[in-house]
Chain A
């Protein structure tokens, strides 16, 4: 159970609740017994689908019943016209939509939805219109889910799945726009930042983007993330993204420029642990840059060590980590 406040019931109230539940329990158990009995006897009939709906209405997490429902439909489909199959799948998609609005994090409901979509036949006629329409509808649904909870990882995963399944692929730049709108409405949405890293990598890979062009694209990203960092330097989402942009071997000018930018922020926010943490890490990166001479290397490492020591004070809960990091600067 997650996030449900504990309440204390008086013995009388508990007794009343129990009595009130008694009828519901009996009805549920009777229905469960009926459905599981038919499942055991492999009674795969259409009339019976309604019974599984009733049971799933009461308990959409009962995955065995979802399995049973699919088996009934699978038994049915070979004798149906494509139109009838589509009609059944439409019913099931509607059903799962209504469940997901109440239970957005139940794996089994998402699974059934995927099965429905993957079962949509070609047609009508020689076209693949059904598939096109169904998958496009999914994109709308998942956007609605992400509007309701912009961090729901089920919905983000499902979005990636839908995008990769669309019969006509959308340009990846659309996804970049989508993550941008999500980020701009809330800089703290790390799920959107994460998705942006994957989208950019996919674009660069697909288009065989050259080093120079990637650098220019990253410069734009640095501008976006800098806004986030200045808006709330205590929010780690932007810092994580910044670190991804920097990577393990950034061009010298980029590294120097970003260190300078963060130093400006550090002056305005001297207690921001994320600021100090980024400075320490990037200073170490700079010390390892091949153009850095021995003398500067020693100086930079010493600077990084001092920053980690400062973190031991600013962020005491993680002081042992900073101590370990400071030691690695020696």
Chain B
């Protein structure tokens, strides 16, 4: 009533019930765009389920329905999960399948031996990791391999010399600015920085990261409007904000960015009518940016959220329980905001 428009806009909060409803309704939309993105369906469930966990509602999605769906994505020929029934198995959907089944406490229903074999087969002699048998190479896949195997408790299945080759390959993707690229020679990009930083963290090889240099590069990703970008002189984005934030958290330098401005930016990207978070304020929302928005807020200590693990992008409680917690810094959970 008496509040001015400025204080009203700074009082925007995270609308948890609305976002939960948005996630629950994702499957009811069934418009053309829904069908055209079936190759991302399993990832979509992981994004939605993780966001629900972080917002304190782990049972937001029908548990048995989700498990049945994950199992229906199994590709017998590849011996792992595809993103949707009858789609080909791929390392991208493999990680999502594992993450979902762990969050649903149903990993015992997965053929872990087969998935492990699929994963180990992805390692090339030069230490690079492919996405499937067609052979695309990307440091994203390196991370996914390590994350998946460690979540399954099978990291020790990588022979020592292969492990060393993987480490060497990641090093070859490191650039003079401290960041990492998709393949050797490629430009640093905050998405690839996150996967490489997290991969090295899983391997216990943070010594290969120049922390002050990379930390500075990451902190320079923050723009005056509070959002973070993926590369120098590019636009801010909620998903890049997460990748930078998770990386800088693993480096223990989370305080090197302006927390309040980033919180404001993420909150401003919410759709407060229909729920969900967009890449930036005023754009269409999707479940991908909804997760990364919520996850970013959690790392920044936003009140009322569960802790997220920046290495695995999963509920910290679950990662602790699995005994996989690596060193990282988060900000203390606030009691109220603003």
Same complex? yes
- By a beta-carbon cutoff of 8 Å, the part of chain A in contact with chain B is 1-6, 8, 18, 21, 24-25, 28-29, 32, 36, 39-40, 58-59, 61-64, 67, 70, 107, 111, 115, 151, 153, 156-157, 160, 188, 190-191, 194-195, 197-198, 235-237, 240, 243-244, 316-318, 320-321, 324-325
Q: B31: which A residues are within 8 A, CB to CB?
A: 18, 21, 25
B279→A3 contact, CB < 8 A = yes
Q: B169: which A residues are within 8 A, CB to CB?
A: none
Q: A237: which B residues are within 8 A, CB to CB?
A: 232-233
List 9 interface pairs A-B (beta carbons < 8 Å), by A numbering: A1-B285, A3-B280, A25-B35, A61-B39, A64-B87, A151-B234, A153-B182, A190-B233, A237-B233
CB distance from B47 to the nearest CB of A (A): 13
Contact A67-B88, Cβ < 8 Å, known A6-B284, A24-B32: yes
Q: B37: which A residues are within 8 A, CB to CB?
A: 61
Contact A25-B32, Cβ < 8 Å, known A63-B88, A70-B134: yes
B233→A4 contact, CB < 8 A = no
B134→A317 contact, CB < 8 A = no
A188 contact from B35, B132, B233, B283, Cβ within 8 A? B233
B232 contact from A25, A32, A240, Cβ within 8 A? A240
Q: B87: which A residues are within 8 A, CB to CB?
A: 63-64
A236→B220 contact, CB < 8 A = yes
- Listed stretches B102-110, B121-129, B254-262, B294-302; interface member: B254-262
CA distance A320 to B212 in the complex (A): 13
CA distance A59 to B255 in the complex (A): 42
B279 contact from A1, A29, A36, A70, Cβ within 8 A? A1
Q: A36: which B residues are within 8 A, CB to CB?
A: 86
B231→A151 contact, CB < 8 A = yes
* Nearest CB in chain A to that of B177: its residue: A240
Interface size on B, residues (CB 8 A): 57
CB distance from A312 to the nearest CB of B (A): 12
* Nearest CB in chain A to that of B286: its residue: A1
Is B53 part of the binding interface, using a Cβ–Cβ cutoff of 8 Å? no
Contact bitstring B35-51, A, C-beta under 8 A = 1, else 0: 11111000000000000
CA distance A153 to B36 in the complex (A): 24
* Nearest CB in chain A to that of B32: its residue: A21
CA distance A39 to B86 in the complex (A): 9
Secondary structure call for the A interface: helix
A63→B39 contact, CB < 8 A = yes
Contact bitstring B44-68, A, C-beta under 8 A = 1, else 0: 0000000000000000000000000
Q: Chain A CB within 10 Å — which of B36, B224, B257 has the most?
A: B36
CB distance from A142 to the nearest CB of B (A): 14
Q: A318: which B residues are within 8 A, CB to CB?
A: 219-220, 222, 256-258
A321→B187 contact, CB < 8 A = no
A28→B284 contact, CB < 8 A = no
A316 contact from B90, B258, B280, Cβ within 8 A? B258
Is B97 part of the binding interface, using a Cβ–Cβ cutoff of 8 Å? no
B284→A4 contact, CB < 8 A = yes
* Nearest CB in chain B to that of A244: its residue: B176
Q: A8: which B residues are within 8 A, CB to CB?
A: 273
B136→A317 contact, CB < 8 A = no
Is B278 part of the binding interface, using a Cβ–Cβ cutoff of 8 Å? yes
Q: B19: which A residues are within 8 A, CB to CB?
A: none
* Nearest CB in chain A to that of B133: its residue: A67
B186→A156 contact, CB < 8 A = yes
CB distance from A37 to the nearest CB of B (A): 9
A190 contact from B86, B216, B232, Cβ within 8 A? B232
B175 contact from A63, A67, A194, A324, Cβ within 8 A? A194
Is B306 part of the binding interface, using a Cβ–Cβ cutoff of 8 Å? no
CA distance A320 to B280 in the complex (A): 26
A63→B90 contact, CB < 8 A = yes
Q: B36: which A residues are within 8 A, CB to CB?
A: 28, 58-59, 61
Is B253 part of the binding interface, using a Cβ–Cβ cutoff of 8 Å? yes
Q: B253: which A residues are within 8 A, CB to CB?
A: 321, 324
CB distance from B137 to the nearest CB of A (A): 10
* Nearest CB in chain A to that of B92: its residue: A63
Q: B286: which A residues are within 8 A, CB to CB?
A: 1
Which residues of chain B from 226 to 259 have any CB-CB distance to chain A below 8 Å in the complex? 231-235, 237, 253, 255-258
CA distance A151 to B189 in the complex (A): 11
Is B271 part of the binding interface, using a Cβ–Cβ cutoff of 8 Å? yes
Q: A317: which B residues are within 8 A, CB to CB?
A: 222, 224, 257-258, 261
B284→A1 contact, CB < 8 A = yes
Is B79 part of the binding interface, using a Cβ–Cβ cutoff of 8 Å? no
B283 contact from A1, A28, A29, Cβ within 8 A? A1
Q: B186: which A residues are within 8 A, CB to CB?
A: 153, 156-157, 160
* Nearest CB in chain A to that of B30: its residue: A25
Is B318 part of the binding interface, using a Cβ–Cβ cutoff of 8 Å? no
Q: B38: which A residues are within 8 A, CB to CB?
A: 62
Extra inter-chain contacts (18) besides given A3-B279, A6-B271, A151-B234, CB under 8 Å: A1-B289, A2-B283, A6-B285, A25-B31, A58-B36, A153-B182, A157-B183, A160-B185, A190-B233, A194-B175, A194-B188, A236-B232, A240-B177, A317-B257, A317-B261, A318-B222, A318-B256, A321-B219
Is B215 part of the binding interface, using a Cβ–Cβ cutoff of 8 Å? yes
CA distance A40 to B280 in the complex (A): 41
Q: A316: which B residues are within 8 A, CB to CB?
A: 258
CB distance from B256 to the nearest CB of A (A): 4
